[in-house]
Structures are given as C-alpha cells and as structure tokens.
Amino acid sequence: MKYLIFFASLSIANAAVISMSLFGGNYGDPHYTTLDGNSYTFNGYGEYTYLAISDERVKQRSANFNPNQSYKFMSQIRTIPLQNTTTSASKVTVTSGFAARSNVADAQPISVTVSRHKSLVICRGNEILKFISASSNSNNVTLVFHDVIIEKNLTNEITTLSWPIGVIIQITPVKITKPILGIVLNVIVSLSKIYKGQTYGLMGNYDDNATNDLQNSKGEFIKPSDTVEHIHKRFGITWSIDPLKSLFYYEAGTESATFYHEQNQIFQPMFNDPRPIRRQLDTAIFDACHISTNASGNLSSWSVAQRMCYYDISVTNDFQFGQSSLAAGEELRQKQQHSASNRFEPIIYMMAIILGRLFI
C-alpha cells in the first residue's frame, strides 16, 4: 500500500480552500447549479463530462471540446433512470456515479459509484478502497495520496475528495424510497477562482457571467431559459464522454462505458415541468418544501431549492427525497452567497503548497 491512513483533521485546510472558491453542484432528479450560479435540470442516461479544467485559459471559447487533450482536471458523472426503462413509464433519473483525476504525475482516477447492492464503491485506479476506522470512537477516515485526499464519514458516508490543485468535491449519498429503493448521489463542487475561463462540461463555462453558462461540447451557447427538452438535446447529451476516456470503475459483469454511451443516444426522458395544480397533495408538498401558502401560486417567488423540492416530490412522490433536495439546494445557495463576498484569492496557492509538502 502506497498510502497512509491517518485521522488528523483536514478541516482547516478544507475551510481555507473552500473560502477562496466558488461552488456548483447537482442533486435530486438531477438539478444542476453551474459555477456561475445558473440552474437547470437534465435527465440524461449516460456518463458525462461534469467539470473539465483546461491547462490554458480558453481565449476563444467557440473551440470544440477535445477529449484527447490533456486537462489539468477531468471529472465525469453517471446518471441513470431509477427504474427499468423498458418496463416503466416513470423516468426519474438520478446520479449514480462520479469519477475524476488530476493530471499531476502518477495521478490515478478516483471513482465513486453505487453498486448493484446499493452500497458505495470507492476506487483508486483498479483498487477498491477500504475505509476502516482505527478507533471505535472515530467515525471519519482519511486516505492521503500524493494527488488527492479522500475523507469519508463512516456514519453518513459523506465522502470528500480534495485535489490540492484547488478542487474539492463533496459526495453525499441520499436514500430514495419511491418509486423504488435506491441510493442517489448529491455532488457539491468547490473550485478555486484561479480557473476562471478554463472550465468545460455540465458545471458550465465559469467566467462570472451566468448568461453564457450552458456551452455545449461543440462550443455553442444554449440559453438557460430554453425549454428542458432543448437543454437536454442541445446541451446535456453533447457532454456524453468518449468511452475510451472513461474514468469509472466498472463492476465485473455490468455495463461498460460503451453501454452508457449508447443509452445516452437512445434514452427519451419525460420532459417534466411540474406546475402546481389545485389538489390535496400539493398542500403537503408545499409544506414539505417550505413554500408558504400565499407564495404557492407564484412560481417566481420560489427559491431554486423550493422548485427542485417540488419537482422531485411531484415526480417521485418521495417526500424525504424532495426534502433532501431542498436541503442540498439551500446549502449550495448559502455557499455561493458566502463565496461571492470573499475576495482573498491567492491563499489557494499557499494551501496547495502546504498540502503538497505535508503529504507528498
């Protein structure tokens, strides 16, 4: 084993990096919040480029995304329908995997997926990582590699991946009970502001301008106000990964990267846009999503988190799932607000150097 396991607190390092960063993420029946703060829903079935960071500042943004190029950081997300698509009309899709790597020397991909047995599988390269706490009163385990630090809370399974280049990913597994039992991953990205003008993928084109966030892999801009269907077809599915470039670990005997690539082409989601209608259930949903009665008829007064909560309960009828989206959306909004008021940029470099010295 080339890594050491230790239990020291990384919270200070993480807090410092996070306060210098901006946030994006996705949760629920995938709702994405881009790094510039735009929100959209994309129900794809496949594996997609989530956040790629190019080595160079991208001056001419109209250039195609080229998967053969070397990226400073590359991350991918897997989303799947919750039910068997051939036998069911309900097409709720959820996040079931995340994988990423940096391009420092000897870096290995980290893959976090939900297994067939509904447990979290975390791999580095081809090795499945085991998180075993050395002491019975400790519920967190940290694995340190030269390229990435992985921290897992054994109680709630929240897993934090920190790349000293300035990217932190927090993955929260959430249980869903309807329409079927499953585990859904909510992902929060924290990215150093030094990467302005260098990002690609579903997390959007980060340049402090929210109107040009949805840039597809061919370099075209899609309006965030476009319909769910348009965003799906012109933006979301264009980020399907080249199967040869997959960073995921595949369980023996299960689907391959090629399988997901094909599903991306075939899958037809329902382009939901649930709207409140006067019925008994809505009152319960409004309660669950903290939407006040007077605001319930006025969609534009709802927060993004409230809309996504409403959406998720409407399509799944799983109230707890909806409330986990409300909490995730709210957490993301608070982090984005906090980061918007933060100006101390260069400390990220210092933190990266300190982390490098300590752990390489």
Ligand X SMILES: *[C@@H]1O[C@H](CO)[C@@H](O)[C@H](O)[C@H]1NC(C)=O
Residues lying near ligand X in the complex (CB under 6 A) are found at: 7, 9-11, 66, 68, 84, 86-87, 137-140, 153, 155-156, 209, 211-212, 292, 294-295, 298, 300-301
Q: Which of 173, 161, 201 is nearest to 35 (CA)?
A: 201
C-beta closer to ligand X: residue 82 or 313: 82
User: Least Å distance between CB 262 and ligand X?
Assistant: 14
Asked if 328 and 172 touch (Cβ cutoff 8 Å), the reply is: yes
E strands in the chain: 4-6, 21-27, 31-33, 39-41, 46-54, 71-81, 93-102, 110-114, 120-124, 127-128, 140-144, 149-153, 159-163, 167-176, 182-192, 199-200
User: Least Å distance between CB 121 and ligand X?
Assistant: 18
C-beta closer to ligand X: residue 294 or 341: 294
User: Least Å distance between CB 281 and ligand X?
Assistant: 21
C-beta closer to ligand X: residue 127 or 211: 211
User: Least Å distance between CB 86 and ligand X?
Assistant: 5
CA 183 to chain centre: 14
Query: Residue 234 and residue 230: Cα distance in Å, rounded?
Result: 6
User: Least Å distance between CB 139 and ligand X?
Assistant: 5
Rounded to 5°, the CA angle 183-184-188 comes to 140
User: Least Å distance between CB 155 and ligand X?
Assistant: 4
Q: Which of 293, 281, 269 is nearest to 319 (CA)?
A: 281
C-beta closer to ligand X: residue 8 or 281: 8
C-beta closer to ligand X: residue 137 or 280: 137
- Spatial strand order of the sheet with 4-6 comes to 4-6, 140-144, 149-153, 159-163, 167-176, 182-192, 21-27, 31-33, 39-41
Q: Which two tokens stand for residue 275?
A: 């709207």
C-beta closer to ligand X: residue 223 or 233: 223
